[in-house]
Chain A
Amino acid sequence: MLSLLGGIFLGWSLGANDAANAFGSAVSSRMLKFWTAALLAAFFVLLGALLEGEAGIETLKGLTGLTLKAAVVASVAAAITVTLMTLLGLPVSTSQAMVGAILGIGFLNRFVDFTGLGKVVACWFGTPIGGMLTAIVVYKILAAAYNRLRIDLFTSDICIRISLIVAGSYAAYALGANNVANVTAVFVGAGRLNVFSATLIGGLSIGLGILTFSRPVMETVGRRLVPLDPFSALVVVLAEAVTVHFYTFVGVPVSTSQAVIGAVLGVGIVKGINTVNRRKLVNILIGWFITPAIACFIAVVLFFTIHLRYVPV
C-alpha cells in the first residue's frame, strides 16, 4: 500500500485541481452549491474511471517497462512537477508530467516505445485544437437549437442550469475515464495492480481530491470562465468533455485544462471576441514544453539517487 502513496497523492492533486474544469463555472457563479458539485464530480469521476479507464492505462504502461520502484519514482516525480508548476503559476498537465516521468525512467532503462510516444505527443497537440473545433461545432448546434426554442427567460435559465449540471457531470466522467491512467497506470505496468484495482484506486483518489480540496480551486480558478456568458460557459464545459472523452477512446490521457483553453478560444472565434490573452497563450506554450521536461529530469534524478550505493573505500 505504501508504494501506492505517490500515485494516490497524484490522484488527489489531480482531483483537487481538475474538478474546476467540470464544475468551476457553475460553482463560482453560484449556480450550484459546492457540495452538490463535489459529490456529482466524485461519483462521475469514479464511474468514468471504472467503465472506461482501461484504454489509457494500456497506453501508458506500454510506454516503457517499469519495476515497482520505478513506478513509485515516476508517480512521485509527476506529483512534484505538478506541485512545482502550480506554485510557479504555470498551467500544468498531469498527463504530460506523468508521461515525462515515465520517459525519464525509460531513457535510463534504454527502453522507450516511440510509436506509443508519437501517439501521445500527437494527442497533446490535438487536445486544444480538438477543444477549439468541438466548441465551434457545439456552439453552432446548441445556438441553433436554443434560438429555435421560444422559451421564456425563466425556463431558459432553468434549462441552462440543468445543462450545466449535466455537462459538468459528463466532464467529470470524461476526466475519470481519461486521467485515471495518470494515477495508477505505472503500477499496472509494474505488476503491482490489476486494471480493475488500478481504476478503482485511481478513481477513488481523484474523488478524494475533489471532496477534500477542490473547493478553493472551484471557487477561484473556476472564475476564469465566468467572464463568458452562461451559454458560452456551457459550451466550453461540453466541448472539453467531448474532447477529453474522445481521447479516452484513443487511449491517451490528455489535459482537461488544455481542452478548456482550446474550447474558450473556439467560443471566442464564433463570437468574434478575444477570450484568451496572449500572455496566457504564451504561458500555456511554456507549460507544454516545460512540464514533461521537468518531470523527466526529476524522475531521472530520483531514480539515479535511489540507486546510489555506498561503497566503502
Chain B
Amino acid sequence: MKKSIVAIAVMSIGLGAAHAQEVVKLGSAAPLTGTISHLGKDLENGSRMAVDAVNAQGGADIGGKKVKFQLVGEDDQADPRTGTTVAQRLVDAGVKGVIGHLNSGTSIPASRIYDQGGVPQISPASTNPKLTQQNFKGVFRTIANDVQQGGALGTFAVKTLGATKVAIIDDRTAYGQGLADETDKAVKAAGAQVVAREFTTDKATDFNAILTKIRATNPDVIFFGGMDAQAGPMLRQLKQLGINAKFLTGDGGCSPEMIKLAGDAINSTTYCSMAGLPLDKMPGGAKFRADYKARFNGEVQLYAPYAYDAAMAIIKAMEKAGSVEPAKYLPELKKISFDGVTGNVSFDDKGDIKEGAVTMYQFKDGTWVAL
C-alpha cells in the first residue's frame, strides 16, 4: 500500500516535470561538516560548477529536448554509517547520478546502495582499489587509485631515483599493505631488486629493529606504505641509525603533518606521491582556478576539478544516449572519452580512470614541491 502511494507520488512528480522544462537531479555526497569539511565542500563546489556551466547554456541537449540540472548536496560527515543513510536519501530523491563520496571508507559501503537503487556513482576522491572491484555496474572514479599510485611509486624509485635495491615497509592496514604490494610489483617490473620486505603496525613508534635489519641489506631507496604518524618517527630513526637511503612514501605521508613530525630528519632525499595533478599542471587548470574564484570567491582545495569532470562525464553520457535514465546512459558512460579539466576522461572496464595521473613530490625549503 505504502509503496503504491510512493509510486503514484513519484509518477506525478515525473509528469509535472515533463510539462514544464525538464529538470534532472544529480546527487553530490561529501563531508560538509567535521575535520575535512573544507575538502568536502570543495568537491561539492566542483560538481556545482559543472551543473551551472551546463545550465548557463540553456541546458544539455538530451533526446531533442533541453534539459536543466539541479544538484542535490548531502553531508556524509566522512562517516560510513551516515554515508549509507545519505546514499539512500539520494536514491529516494530520484537522482539520476551521484558525484561522491570523498573517503574510500564511505564510498565503498554507499556504492552498494547506489547499485541497488540503479544510480551510477562517480567518486572524484576515493582511491581504495576495492571500490571498483565489487562488480557493481555503475561505479567509476575520476582519480587514480592506489594500484596506479603504487605503480607510479615503484617506477619512480627505479627510473627517476635510479634505485637498484629497494626496501619496502608497510603498516599492515588495507591502505598501506595495498600500496606496498603494488609498489613491490612495479619495482620488480622495472628491473630492480626488493631487498627487504618488513612490517610494522599503524600504532607503532619504534622501528629500530626492522630498520637495522634493512640497513644490513644496504638499499638505495626505502619505501613506506602507511600514514604520516609512523612515517615521521621512522624518518628520524633512519637518521639515528645512520641510514642514508632515499625515503619514499605514498599520499598518507604526503602531508604538512609529516614535515612537522619528522623534524630535522626530513630533507631533500624525502619523496612522496599524491593521486592527481597539481592544479597548475592540469590542461584546464588555469581557467578552472579563475572560474572557481569568480564563482565561490576562494581557492580550489583539491577535488573540485575531479568532481567537475565527474559531473561532466554523466551529463555527456546522457547527451550521447539521448536519455537521462541510468539504464540507458550507463553504456555510454562506460565508453565515454572527452578532454576534461584534469585531462582525458575515460574509464577502463572496472570503472577506474584510464590515464589516472600520479604526481611525485620532493621535500624542499620546508614544504612539498611537485616534481
- Say whether A and B bind each other: no
Q: Which A residues lie at the B interface, using CB under 8 A?
A: none
Interface residues of B (CB under 8 A from A): none
